[in-house]
Structure 1
């Protein structure tokens, strides 16, 4: 047995690594193709408005304020859509966001908008609890859940409804970010335009459950059939389970041609890294095999393994392979970012190089932190995740 492994084991391992390496390059190309094909499509919105359009209830959960919140919320009052309502949700009656909401209600009295304060506890998920009164009070057949940090273009809602075909239950927007100043904003744009976009776009093309809940348009009746959003209050990653509920019943998911323009103020890199770590914890709990697959698919780790495997089978210089791997990965990421941005980048190529290197170098560190500290600190609570994504709140000790 030992002789067999010495003779064939490493060859099989090297072959397996190269197959995985090729598959990751396939994902790169798939993301480029799907991004070019699906994003920023030209749609004749005037012709869309000539036919009857369904009403949309927009639910906006709010907590706290930042310097971009007012303009983000105001963009929903300026939507070019014939029939919609905006339902703001605030858990705490002392939340400063209430002042902004009231200003907008006074500024745009003709827009159908309401404020719900207090929430209803239906589970451990604070976002679901906050949105529950607005969901119960919503009156239209389509529901758009949109996070506080999202800024909309005038035609975004038309674009999303256009994608809601008869066999589609959920239309989601690929997360991206607005142009903002400061290096933390550069790092966010590079992350969402490269590593995150590659997985998101390729998964969407392969019809794998990938929607995020920051901007998702859904059929309310299909949610009501399973108990409304309250039925998902036991999960922190409610967006994943919304989508799975639809696909399990044979419905389809579609991506909007416009990305979700995140426009929250990012004060520092640590805040951004904490957010990425929290998402990693959710993925680990919901999809346990990601514990192995995710770190092995990172650029530097995969490149090192592929360099060894190729040199073992072909005697090619592993250092040359490694340099080729990193350079090609870098160029494909930059190309993907340009496709998603569809305009000049608001930072220099040097800024991109630095942000890209930081993202790749810290990826394993953040993933290790997610494994080492599995509890999730989100909003005002701390939560423990069980396998399958079910969450329970951790009570603080007095």
Structure 2
């Protein structure tokens, strides 16, 4: 919440009225700019704007796989890509090591769906420090279609999701990505993930998407599910040119945007469906992403804390106490309550219905996420070394990564 403007010693009644008016105005502005955009943006079914299959753009789907430890939902997730309702696509599974248990799953699915154009590659090609780029390089070199979809192994795909993404790939667009969300799963770690991706992360993602719709060039792309024009990437040497970065998704979008192409968010969120979720692993992901943001966009070091409910509430409450002589604790509690209610509404919109847990579970998870955000940020600033896929990296300003010998845990 933002602090209300200063006034010249208003009366007690004016203080209360100004306090309430400030909160109401801020809530109304939030609703008009973001909630309405979410209603119009998400869960819309879009058909391809082409007549007949011959005009449909082909898609090469890159699936980087690291099957150790094995995800119990891997077969279920991968099979949803074999059953996509799209006329022209190929599946390129990129498996890092010989003997990886995911090889057997891929072979079983290829045998079960022989009509699907699918192949797999074992062993990557080292083109940089990014393990994911190295893993996908053989599949990218074999890709034969004009569009490339980088899709993480933990995603579950709806039959029409690829159709929706390609429908957003209009002639002036070079990259279409999905907003990360989660499938319905049991357990508190799964609830915590759904609350985060359906509130804090969705708020940032959709707001930046709204700015992009207004013609402002912003970059909020994530590589979890990212559809790109291959010819544009090939002009810079393909995905190998981005192997020096850990956040290859951000630099994919930055490069494509710099070439004059637009970026769009798909109507359907990316459904993460990992079979095992842990609070520690979730916090490690958030810490790693925070470190990457600070290295890539240094001004987030100052701006990101101000986007968090608790930090902004403390500042706004201090301003309210000084400028309006409002009670500090009352102002802070009202701010937190209003923010949490707005996030509950947002979560219902992203979920496209009520979430599969109680309001009490939401409150507990929401409070944990909002409070832990402060400690995650401090830890990311204090320890910039990133551990990812059993390797450690140090980031230079600008996002270029360098491997380090000493392994340092993220959390």
Asked whether the two chains share a fold, i.e. TM above 0.5, the reply is yes
What are the within-5 Å matches in structure 2 for residues 364-379 of structure 1? Answer: 364-379=374-389
**1:85 alignment counterpart:** 90
Once residues 89 and 24 of structure 1 are traced to their aligned partners in structure 2, the CA distance between those partners, rounded to angstroms, is 46
Distance 1:28 1:235, change over 3 A: farther
Once residues 278 and 90 of structure 1 are traced to their aligned partners in structure 2, the CA distance between those partners, rounded to angstroms, is 23
1:85-131 deviation digits (Å, cap 9, x = unpaired) = 00000111122111111111111111100001111100000000000
Once residues 52 and 26 of structure 2 are traced to their aligned partners in structure 1, the CA distance between those partners, rounded to angstroms, is 42
Where 2:61 maps in the other structure, the secondary structure is strand
Equivalent of residue 36 in structure 1, options 34, 39, 60: 39
Once residues 224 and 109 of structure 2 are traced to their aligned partners in structure 1, the CA distance between those partners, rounded to angstroms, is 21
Residues 31 and 336 of structure 1 are in contact (CA less than 8 Å); yes or no, is this contact kept in structure 2?
no
Once residues 319 and 396 of structure 1 are traced to their aligned partners in structure 2, the CA distance between those partners, rounded to angstroms, is 45
Equivalent of residue 272 in structure 1, options 257, 260, 282: 282
Structure 1 residue ranges without an equivalent (≥5): 1-7, 12-18
**1:324 alignment counterpart:** 334
- 1:164 correspondence with 2:180: no
What is the deviation of 1:276?
0.7
What are the within-5 Å matches in structure 2 for residues 243-322 of structure 1? Answer: 243-322=253-332
After superposing the two structures, state which structure 1 stretch, 166-175 or 257-266, moved more.
Answer: 257-266
Once residues 260 and 105 of structure 1 are traced to their aligned partners in structure 2, the CA distance between those partners, rounded to angstroms, is 23
User: Root-mean-square deviation (CA), in Å?
Assistant: 2.1
1:303-325 deviation digits (Å, cap 9, x = unpaired) = 11111112211222222221221
Once residues 134 and 113 of structure 1 are traced to their aligned partners in structure 2, the CA distance between those partners, rounded to angstroms, is 11
After superposing the two structures, state which structure 1 stretch, 362-371 or 38-47, moved more.
Answer: 38-47
Once residues 26 and 335 of structure 2 are traced to their aligned partners in structure 1, the CA distance between those partners, rounded to angstroms, is 14
**1:104 alignment counterpart:** 109
**2:12 alignment counterpart:** none
Distance 1:47 1:141, change over 3 A: closer
Once residues 389 and 119 of structure 2 are traced to their aligned partners in structure 1, the CA distance between those partners, rounded to angstroms, is 23
Residues 45 and 155 of structure 1 are in contact (CA less than 8 Å); yes or no, is this contact kept in structure 2?
no
After superposing the two structures, state which structure 1 stretch, 331-340 or 371-380, moved more.
Answer: 371-380
Distance 1:299 1:343, change over 3 A: same
Residues 45 and 164 of structure 2 are in contact (CA less than 8 Å); yes or no, is this contact kept in structure 1?
no
Where 2:221 maps in the other structure, the secondary structure is coil
TM-score after normalising by structure 1:
0.91
Paired residues, what number? 380
What is the deviation of 1:23?
8.2
Where 1:393 maps in the other structure, the secondary structure is strand
1:261-301 deviation digits (Å, cap 9, x = unpaired) = 01112332111111111101100101111112112321111
Residues 58 and 85 of structure 1 are in contact (CA less than 8 Å); yes or no, is this contact kept in structure 2?
yes
Once residues 369 and 277 of structure 2 are traced to their aligned partners in structure 1, the CA distance between those partners, rounded to angstroms, is 17
**1:55 alignment counterpart:** 58
Where 1:367 maps in the other structure, the secondary structure is helix
Once residues 267 and 38 of structure 1 are traced to their aligned partners in structure 2, the CA distance between those partners, rounded to angstroms, is 28
- 1:222 correspondence with 2:232: yes
Where 1:206 maps in the other structure, the secondary structure is helix
| Runs of 4 or more above 3 Å deviation | 22-29, 44-51
